Amino acid sequence: YLIHIVKRITGQTVTDFIYEMLYSDARTLLMHSKLSIQEITSLLHFSDQSSFGKFFKRKAGLSPIDFRKQMK
């Protein structure tokens, strides 16, 4: 039932919706906090920094470090 509701409201699959929310949280933390990349990785429940970096680069086209530098 949840799958159908999310798809109808957002037009996305549940997985895509979750990834989009996770990416949004990651961007916010990178732009508006002084947390380290490792702390953000942990806060967002990624298994390790490499996994977070790969996820973020797929979504943003930049590594988390490069994204943060670009936002300054």
For residue range 9-37, what is the model confidence (pLDDT) as tens digits?
999 999 999 999 999 999 999 999 999 99
Residue 72 has pLDDT above 90, yes or no: no
Q: What does the block give as tokens for 5?
A: 């509701």
DSSP E strand boundaries for 16-57: none
Q: How far is CA 47 from CA 1, 15, 50, in A?
A: 29, 18, 8
- The share of the chain scoring above pLDDT 70, in percent, equals 100
In contact, 31 and 64? CB cutoff 8 Å:
no
Computed over every residue of the chain, the mean pLDDT equals 96
Fold for 20-71, please state it. Answer: Arc Repressor Mutant, subunit A (1.10.10)
Mean pLDDT value across residues 40-46:
98
- pLDDT score at 52: 98
Q: Write down the domain spans for the chain.
A: 20-71
Mean pLDDT value across residues 36-51:
98
